[in-house]
């Protein structure tokens, strides 16, 4: 038995003497039997629709399933481990007999996260294989790793957003002990590590919670995936918020990225996100939580207690400026340097009055720079494109260097996506491994979704089939590019070093930051005490623009960064001065 007193309410829980309590929620079921070994054991039903049974002499790894009114057998939706996948029997996970350490996501100085997908980060695509990448990422200069979801999903490969279980780690990457080894190795390398979790829906295959408790969902609200998770029910809330405590306690995670919180509907007095944050911090008081949310909603931080929000405005305005995209949500942006300067100065561009995608937005007054996370790309902005190209493949090297300087020297938090640090020319595509019929529906749905983008309306053949094994294989990172593009890796390392060591740039202070525009040049002035840093950046070039007065600390056109050797603002470039 574990030395901890807390275990989740639902699912298998270890008791003294090798006993295990099994508990599920299935309010519409009259009779439940636990299938354990060669036994069919009746479970006792409570008035709230839960069924429970305490069984002696259970061994770690024991497989079990359930019969519901004679139907089944089915795995446990609250399973801790699915060694044979979403449709296989559940397994009792051995109790954890030691405390796992944590490493807090930095607060109080400029922070940088590295988003990665475990299946494509390495050729092997496993928890253990990722460990060998940790020294490289530590040398790069990031301080936090963000894993795309690892909750058990169907098939051999997946982005992770088709998760079918709340508590079980994906067996395709390895065992629970392998995942603990990865988290522990990250901590020993001086890296914090957070997990992407999905609380707005469950995947279309293997989510047996639909069979156990259809009441888990409601049609009162709609999401892109169908009916919403029903957070008016205490059993549902408990299942979700206790899962964050489980991942922190049992695997050592230091926090979470909360997927698409704009698709979480909860009219309760206390929002489920506040409960999620509180539960995670009961396991680790410094747990960090960041929301993906396109509404520009300050309540996520000021009311619900999250640390930060993935602020899309910076990315979207920059991409429109560089590439001229105006489809879908990009229609809300003019692609002008003034928009980017406002995002740097205030966190968001849209702070009320927006009539298009995402809602009006709210003011950022009172929110610190650390409440916003900026990026040049992420898994969505790379993978939700037909060709899955990184930004470096779509702009000139000079533009890429200038944009990278701008991102990595802002006072807000920043996030990189795997391959960005060496200007990857490869692809990260959307891939799945569903059964044939579901796979066909996913492919058709993907094509419908992309009709909102002109390129794919006119050229549907450019959209890759997510079900093709080649689509997954083509998404593997090409590590040889890190050597071929050493100039970019050198630039990123130096910029990230400045974020943590420069006496001005290391401080995430929006109040002492001023951003403005002259022509096509964005100026960002940051101060601390008597020290001043001035960054001048242009992504298009400004004929006749002069380098400001001051001592040049770095410029994007240095030869060691692959440039021509002369600082310039007349063509795309960036100059940092003291």
Three-state DSSP state, 391: helix
Q: Please give the pLDDT value at position 406.
A: 98
Q: Please give the pLDDT value at position 227.
A: 83
Angle, CA of 410, 305 and 360, to the nearest 5°: 65
Burial code (b: 16+ CB inside 10 Å, e: under 16) for 381-394 equals bbbbbbebbbbbeb
State the greatest distance between any 2 C-alpha atoms of the chain, in Å, as a whole number: 83
Q: Which of 196, 259, 293, 412 is catalytic?
A: 259
**Are the CB atoms for 217 and 263 separated by under 8 Å?**
no
Q: Please give the pLDDT value at position 399.
A: 98
Q: Please give the pLDDT value at position 535.
A: 98
Q: Is the pLDDT of residue 364 over 50?
A: yes
Q: Is 547 exposed, middle or buried, given 0-12, 13-18 or 19+ CB atoms closer than 10 A? A: middle
Query: Beta strands of 369-425 (E only): which ranges?
Result: 372-375, 413-417
What length is written for the chain? 578
13-91 and 513-577 have identical folds: yes
Any alpha helices (H) in 65-175, and if so which ranges? 118-121, 127-131, 134-140
Q: What is the pLDDT of residues 429-464, one digit of tens each?
A: 999 999 999 999 988 888 887 777 777 777 777 788
The β-bridge relationship of strands 573-577 and 531-538 is antiparallel
Q: What is the pLDDT of residues 379-408, one digit of tens each?
A: 999 998 878 999 999 999 999 999 999 999
Q: Please give the pLDDT value at position 1.
A: 39
**How far is residue 313's CA from residue 373's CA, in Å, rounded to a whole number?**
10
Residue whose C-alpha is closest to residue 371's, from 302, 430, 433, 282: 302
Q: Which of 33, 115, 266, 292 is catalytic?
A: 292
Residue 3: band (very low, low, confident or very high) from pLDDT cuts 50, 70, 90: very low
Q: Is the pLDDT of residue 416 over 50?
A: yes
512-517 contacts: CB < 8 A, separation 24 or more? Answer: 513/344, 513/345, 513/369, 513/411, 514/345, 515/341, 515/342, 515/344, 515/345, 516/341, 517/336, 517/337, 517/338, 517/341
Determine the average pLDDT of the residues in 1-18: 82
Residue whose C-alpha is closest to residue 167's, from 250, 259, 288: 250
CATH of domain 112-501: 3.20.20.80
DSSP state of 26: -
Q: Find the distance separating the first CA and the last CA of the chain, reported in whole Å.
A: 59
For every residue of 33-71, DSSP letters joined together read EEEETTEEEE-EEPTTSEEEEEESSPPTT-EEEEEETTE
Residue 492: band (very low, low, confident or very high) from pLDDT cuts 50, 70, 90: very high
Q: What is the pLDDT of residues 244-292, one digit of tens each?
A: 999 999 999 999 999 999 999 999 999 999 999 999 999 999 999 999 9
Of the chain, the percentage scoring pLDDT greater than 70 comes to 99
Whether cis (ω within 30° of 0) applies to the bond prior to 73 is yes
DSSP state of 389: B
Residue 470: band (very low, low, confident or very high) from pLDDT cuts 50, 70, 90: very high
| 292 flagged as catalytic | yes
Write down the domain spans for the chain.
13-91, 112-501, 513-577
Burial code (b: 16+ CB inside 10 Å, e: under 16) for 172-211 equals bbbbbebbbbbbbbbbebebbbbbbbbbbbbbbbbbbbeb
* H or E segment to which residue 226 belongs: strand 226-229
Residue 452: CB atoms within 10 A of its CB come to 11
Q: What is the pLDDT of residues 216-230, one digit of tens each?
A: 999 999 898 888 999
Q: Please give the pLDDT value at position 251.
A: 97
Q: Is the pLDDT of residue 313 over 60?
A: yes
**Are the CB atoms for 491 and 435 separated by under 8 Å?**
no
Query: Beta strands of 362-428 (E only): which ranges?
Result: 372-375, 413-417
Determine the average pLDDT of the residues in 498-512: 95
Say how far residue 554 (Cα) sits from the centre of its chain: 31
For the record, the structure tokens of 331 come out as 């229609």
Give the chain's mean pLDDT. 95
Q: Please give the pLDDT value at position 453.
A: 74
Q: Please give the pLDDT value at position 426.
A: 93
**How far is residue 433's CA from residue 419's CA, in Å, rounded to a whole number?**
23
Q: Is the pLDDT of residue 124 over 70?
A: yes
Q: Please give the pLDDT value at position 459.
A: 78
Residues 13-91: name the CATH superfamily.
Answer: Immunoglobulins (2.60.40.10)
Q: CATH classification of 513-577, choosing from 3.40.1190.20, 2.60.40.1180, 1.10.10.10, 3.40.50.300? A: 2.60.40.1180
**How far is residue 339's CA from residue 351's CA, in Å, rounded to a whole number?**
12
| 69 flagged as catalytic | no
Q: Please give the pLDDT value at position 4.
A: 53
């Amino acid at each position: 038995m574990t030395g901890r007193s807390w275990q989740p309410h639902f699912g298998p829980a270890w008791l003294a003497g090798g006993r295990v309590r099994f508990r599920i929620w299935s309010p519409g079921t009259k009779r439940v039997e636990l299938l354990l070994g060669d036994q069919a054991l009746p479970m006792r039903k409570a008035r709230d629709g839960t069924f429970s049974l305490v069984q002696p002499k259970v061994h770690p790894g024991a497989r079990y399933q359930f019969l519901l009114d004679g139907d089944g057998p089915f795995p446990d939706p609250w399973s801790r481990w699915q060694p044979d996948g979403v449709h296989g029997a559940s397994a009792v996970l051995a109790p954890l007999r030691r405390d796992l350490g944590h490493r807090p996501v930095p607060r109080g100085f400029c922070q940088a996260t590295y988003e990665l997908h475990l299946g494509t980060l390495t050729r092997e695509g496993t928890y253990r294989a990722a460990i060998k990448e940790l020294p490289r990422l530590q040398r790069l200069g990031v301080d936090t790793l963000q894993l795309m979801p690892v909750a058990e999903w169907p098939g051999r490969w997946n982005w992770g957003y088709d998760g079918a279980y709340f508590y079980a780690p994906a067996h395709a990457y390895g065992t629970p002990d392998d995942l603990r080894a990865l988290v522990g190795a990250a901590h020993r390398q001086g890296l914090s590590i957070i997990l992407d979790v999905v609380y707005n829906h469950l995947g279309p295959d293997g989510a047996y919670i639909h069979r156990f408790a259809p009441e888990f969902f409601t049609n009162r609200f709609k999401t892109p995936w169908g009916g919403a998770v029903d957070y008016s029910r205490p059993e549902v809330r408990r299942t979700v918020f206790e899962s964050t405590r489980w991942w922190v306690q049992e695997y050592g995670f230091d926090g979470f990225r909360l997927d698409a919180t704009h698709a979480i509907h909860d009219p309760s007095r206390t929002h489920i996100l506040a409960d999620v944050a509180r539960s995670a911090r009961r396991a680790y008081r410094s747990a960090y939580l960041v929301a993906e949310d396109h509404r520009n909603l300050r309540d996520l931080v000021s009311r619900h207690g999250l640390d930060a929000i993935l602020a899309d405005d910076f990315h979207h305005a920059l991409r429109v400026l560089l590439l001229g995209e105006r489809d879908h949500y990009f229609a809300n942006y003019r692609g002008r340097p003034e928009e980017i300067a406002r995002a740097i100065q205030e966190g968001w561009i849209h702070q009320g009055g927006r009539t298009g995608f995402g809602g009006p937005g709210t003011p950022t007054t009172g929110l610190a720079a650390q409440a916003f996370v900026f990026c040049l790309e992420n898994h969505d902005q790379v993978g939700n494109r037909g060709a899955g190209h990184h930004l470096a493949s779509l702009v000139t090297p000079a533009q890429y260097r200038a944009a990278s300087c701008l991102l990595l020297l802002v006072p807000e938090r920043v996030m990189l996506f795997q391959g960005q640090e060496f200007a990857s020319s490869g692809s990260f595509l959307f891939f799945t491994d569903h059964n044939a019929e579901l796979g066909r529906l996913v492919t058709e749905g993907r094509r419908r979704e992309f009709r909102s983008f002109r390129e794919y309306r006119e050229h549907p053949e450019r959209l890759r089939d997510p079900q093709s094994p080649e689509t997954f294989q083509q998404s593997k990172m090409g590590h040889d590019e890190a050597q071929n593009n050493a100039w970019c890796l050198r630039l990123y390392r130096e910029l990230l070093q400045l974020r943590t060591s420069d006496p001005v740039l290391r401080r995430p202070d929006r109040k002492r930051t001023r951003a403005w525009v002259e022509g096509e040049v964005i100026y960002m002035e940051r101060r601390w005490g008597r020290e001043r840093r001035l960054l001048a950046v242009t992504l298009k070039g400004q004929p006749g623009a002069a380098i400001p007065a001051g001592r040049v600390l770095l410029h994007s056109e240095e030869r060691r960064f692959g440039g021509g050797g002369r600082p310039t603002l007349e063509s795309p470039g960036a100059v940092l001065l003291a």
